[in-house]
Amino acid sequence: MTTLPLVAPALRTRRRRNRLRVLLYLSPGLVGFAVFLIYPLAMTVWLSFTNSNMFSPAQFVGLRNYRFMLDSDPQLWQAVRNTGWLVVIMVPAQVLFALGVAMVTARLKAGAGLFRTLFYLPALAPPVAATVAFVCLFNPASGPVNHLLGLFGIQGPLWFDSPTWSKPALTLLSLWGSGTVMVIFLAALLDVPAEQYEAAELDGANPWQRFRYVTLPAISPVVLFASVTGVIAALQYFTQAVVAANVANGSIQAAPGYPDGSTMTFPEELYTAGFNQFHAGYACAMAVVLFVVAMACTLVLLRRASGYDPQHTQESPL
Amino acid sequence: MTLVAAGVLVATACSAGGGTTQANTGANDTTPVTITFWHGFSSPHEIASVDAVLAKFHQKYPYITVKSVPGQTDDKVNQAIRGGTAPDVDASFNANNVGGWCSSGAFEDLTADIAADHVDMSQIPKAVQSYTAFGGKRCTMPWLADTFGLYYNKKLFAAAGITSPPKTMTELAADAKKLTTFNADGSIKTAGFMPYLGAYQMLTEHLVTSWGGSWLKADGTSNVGADPAFAAAMTWQKNLVDWFGEAKLAKFKAGMPDEFSAQNSFETGNLAMMVDGEWRTAFIKNDKSTVDYATAPMPAADTKPQLYGSGYVGGNVIGIPRGAKHPDAAWKLVKFLTTDTDAVTSLADAIGNVPTTLAALDSPSLTLSKDPQFATFLEVFKNPLTSTTPASADGGAYLTNYGLFATKWQTGQIADLQAGLKAVDKQNNAALSLGQ
């Protein structure tokens, strides 16, 4: 910092004014950031150490909410397992399916526009309407899916009414609605320089090698984007699980996570605690844990991605 | 997002207004005032029925105008109370929230108003009084009730040679077996009774009532492990589940169409008997169902014959949220809607629910009582042994916990019933302590 005294006073004043001007221009955003992000975040962390019910004054209870989460919540570990299942199975399935569809439609010569539209259309349906329609299609007694399977001599499962099949059924719903990811993949695939494929072909690369050493490195930032956003969305999976449980149960008083708690997700458990059972302090503790887990998953994914060197892999075996 | 959303909700909690505990008896104040009234009714005929009763209120108190807002939920009113924008009066379908509202002060305690206006609380049956108050605070009043009983298909009864509805749970199980028919592949064609918990209104709270089960101890802690009624009810239920075969029941349940549709399994004749609320009588009429049915009280446990004729009751509640702008006028509306015999009977008739005062129940103007199928529910409602699920500070978390256990029990995942019930007690009490 020895250079500072050498700067002329007029220049320093100008710099300070510049900084103030920048801050002034940024202030609406900064105020919004502080009021709607930093303050709620800080409040959530604070309330996670209280017995708040969001009506009466909260009292500090130390780590009691966190201890309850680990020891006594009867549904928590099932909710964690369900959410974990969605992250580990549903997200990769969705990314692979969207990538597969994008690759096929990218190669189509005729009717490409029609197929792209068809695959994108379900993404336009509101999640609640899409879920209701999907559960009705998969109704084991009256739905056309099992009827169709029956024509081929296959006894269809109970889908949303079976604890074994409810999460795979939700995964099918997510595949059906993965049009947005598909469009992003499509844009990335169409951006891969054709010369690279030609060069790889001249070097004798087979289709798998062309995918592995040309396509994948070129679209890896998009794969990373789809994975990170998919994991975060799966950790916050709520609407479809709640609606599917209610519609499948056919009663307005559906047990949470119907059937057998198999669709109870971590955010649903959080919502029930905070909004139905007046345990806002505990819900805040769950929100903090969810935030930390989402952050950790994102960091791990980004870290792994940064260790991946497309240049190196492109040069290696061929 | 979840964290941020929760935080925003929490942040707004800090601005909720303070409560008052004095009587809102501005009897002589006739300054014109407009109050806001939120309720959950949403279908056009229900909204019209509520508005008709509100018009009568305006006739009686011309200086009070009521702005009625239909289709409101408990989540929304909770949020409005936290944000300081609560309506003057709020009605809810869910009595489970009364414990939380009373203990947190989210709704005003009406005790002083009731005393100042000499409201005769003995006009309201005991069970109804119990689900509308909590911890010595009466923060809501009952606004119509739901009563549960047995619906049975007379045609299927005659075909099976059964001449009268079952009065004991043993008779119910025996009749259920007689009335059940199977398809060639072994799947259930017609179920005599659906013992699978979670199917329509076949909920634990509607079942254990037949054994006189008491959910909570006097201090609010869980009682399911100590009360033998729960083990007895669950054993009866599991025996019947096992007779059908759990997998067959799961499949049959999966095929049961929406409860509140014209394809309801009882209305289509696929279910010979079921436990349901009084509202089904109106649905059967409106759906133009051809089911030849009758109603009876739910059978009682063999060991508790004195309970026959009683049943489970629950219902709508109405109160004054904290932060109401015009609590005097609000109290007048609450009092009118819940204690004025004409107001109670006309709304009960229009909506097809059970009125919540004895005067309204016995009123000659209550046309519902002339329908013999509906009259069953009025009798069950009046029975002094009729019971309900008690209010708890955590919004009935004990029922959610029990539901999880019951699901595991009926699918055969619980080996030791008594140990399982004790574990539910532990969970309930741990959850309750979170708010302390």
**What Rg do the C-alpha atoms of chain A give, in angstroms?**
26
CA A17, A18, A22 angle in degrees (round to 5)?
115
Q: At CA A133, angle to CA A131 and CA A135, rounded to 5?
A: 65
Q: Are strands B141-153 and B293-296 parallel, antiparallel or unpaired?
A: antiparallel
Best to test chain A binding among B1, B3, B15 (most A CBs inside 10 Å): B3
Q: Which residues 156-195 on chain A approach chain B with CB closer than 8 angstroms? A: 158, 161-162
Contact status of A56 with chain B (Cβ, < 8 Å) = yes
Amino acid at A289: V
Task: List Cβ neighbours of A3 (8 Å cut-off, separation of 6 or more).
Answer: none
In chain B, residues 158-177 whose CB comes closer than 8 Å to chain A? none
Query: What pLDDT was estimated at residue A252?
Result: 63
Best to test chain B binding among A279, A282, A284, A291 (most B CBs inside 10 Å): A279
d(CA B267, CA B270): 8
Mark out the alpha helices in B180-326 (DSSP H runs).
Answer: 204-207, 228-244, 246-254, 279-286
A200 pLDDT exceeds 90?
Answer: yes
> pLDDT tens across B218-258, in order?
998 999 999 999 999 999 999 999 999 999 999 999 889 88
Tell me the C-alpha to C-alpha distance, in Å, between residue B13 and each of B80, B195, B224, B436.
9, 43, 34, 18
Cis omega (within 30 of 0) for bond into A259: yes
How many whole angstroms separate alpha carbon A54 and alpha carbon A89? Answer: 36
- The pLDDT value given to residue A163: 92
- Helices assigned H by DSSP within B180-312: 204-207, 228-244, 246-254, 279-286
Among B81, B200, B201, select the one facing A55 at the smallest CB separation: B81
Scanning A111-140 for CB atoms below 8 A from B yields 139-140
Q: Is B431 on the interface with A (CB under 8 A)?
A: yes
Chain B residues whose CB is inside 8 A of the A51 CB are 434-436
Of A252, A188, A262, A237, nearest in space to A87 by CA: A237
**pLDDT 10s digits, A80-135:** 999 999 999 999 999 999 999 999 999 887 888 888 888 999 999 999 999 999 99
**Distance (Å, rounded) from C-alpha A268 to C-alpha B62?**
46
Query: Which of B250, B408, B435 has the CB atom closest to A278's CB atom?
Result: B435
ipTM comes to 0.83
pLDDT in tens, A50-78: 999 888 899 999 999 999 999 888 889 99
What is the CB neighbour count within 10 angstroms for residue A165? 19
How far apart are alpha carbons A316 and A200 in whole angstroms? 13
The CB density around residue B182, as the number of other CB atoms within 10 Å, is 14
Mean pLDDT per 10-residue section of chain B, whose length is 436 residues: 42 39 60 95 87 96 96 91 94 91 94 95 90 93 96 97 97 98 95 94 95 94 96 98 95 89 94 96 91 98 97 95 95 96 94 93 93 95 92 89 92 95 95 88
Residues of B in contact with A158 (CB under 8 A): 250-251, 254
Q: Is the pLDDT of residue A139 over 70?
A: yes
Among A55, A68, A260, the residue with its CB nearest the CB of B434 is A68
Min Cα–Cα distance to chain B from A187, Å: 27
The whole-angstrom separation of Cα A20 and Cα A33 is 18
Contacts of A64 in chain B (CB under 8 A): 434
Give the model confidence (pLDDT) of A234-276 as tens digits: 999 999 999 999 888 876 666 788 888 999 999 999 999 998 8
B8:A256 CB<8 A: no
First to last CA, chain B: 28
Q: Which phi and psi (to 5°) does residue A233 adopt?
A: -65, -40
Tell me the β-bridge partners of B148: B277
Question: How far from chain centre, in Å, is Cα B345?
Answer: 19
Q: In this complex, which of A43, A158, A282 lies closest to B434 when CB atoms are compared?
A: A282
- Best residue in A70, A276, A289, A290 for a mutation probing chain B (most B CBs within 10 Å): A276
| Residue A12's pLDDT band (cuts 50, 70, 90) | confident
Instruction: For chain B, say whether A256 makes contact (Cβ under 8 Å).
Output: yes
What sign results for the dihedral spanned by CA atoms B275, B277, B283, B285? positive
Query: For residues B240 and A52, what is the distance between their CA atoms, to the nearest angstrom?
Result: 43
Nearest to B314 by CA among B391, B373, B368: B391
Kindly tell me if the per-residue pLDDT of A311 is higher than 70: no
Tell whether A255 is within 8 A of chain B (Cβ).
yes
Contact B404 A280 (CB under 8 A): no
* pTM for the whole structure: 0.85
Interface of A with B in 93-112 (CB under 8 A): none
Contact map slice: B 72-101 vs A, CB within 8 A: 75, 78, 81-82, 96, 100
- Give which of B67, B3, B36, B22 is closest to B321, Cα–Cα: B36
Enumerate residues 237 to 266 of chain B having a beta carbon within 8 A of any beta carbon in chain A.
250-251, 253-260
SS3 assignment, position A271: helix
